[in-house]
Amino acid sequence: MEQQRLQTLATELEQLLARLALFDGEVADLRSALEPLLALAGSGALSAPLPWGDIPGGRYFTEGGLRQYPELEQAFARFRIEATGGESPALRKLRGEM
């Protein structure tokens, strides 16, 4: 987990959430769920990787309607990957093959 990258990704995700939450209540709910974690990550206080399931919000994309915002889904995924320890060797290999 790279602190500077995590802080940058947290800021990017928070900005997207703030913009979209004005128009979509489901985005506002996601923002509320992520707010404490984004604050920790943004301040550099998140020092150890989190378990995947400890990051709230994935269900908004899989079960809810937020797939209509691909930019938000990508920002969430980048943040979640970094907060859980960064890209694994397997993920890097998979991305290289695509």
pLDDT in tens, 20-30: 999 999 999 99
pTM: 0.89
85 φ/ψ angles, rounded to the nearest 5 degrees: 120, 0
> Distances from the Cα of 76 to the Cαs of 1, 88, 95, 97, in angstroms?
16, 17, 17, 23
Per-residue confidence band for 66, with pLDDT thresholds at 50, 70 and 90: very high
pLDDT in tens, 49-64: 999 999 999 999 999 9
pLDDT of residue 92: 65
Name which residue leads in pLDDT, 98 or 81.
Answer: 81
pLDDT of residue 47: 87
Residue-number span of the structural domain to which 27 is assigned: 3-95
Total of domains in the chain: 1
| Inter-residue contact 86 to 24 (CB < 8 Å) | no
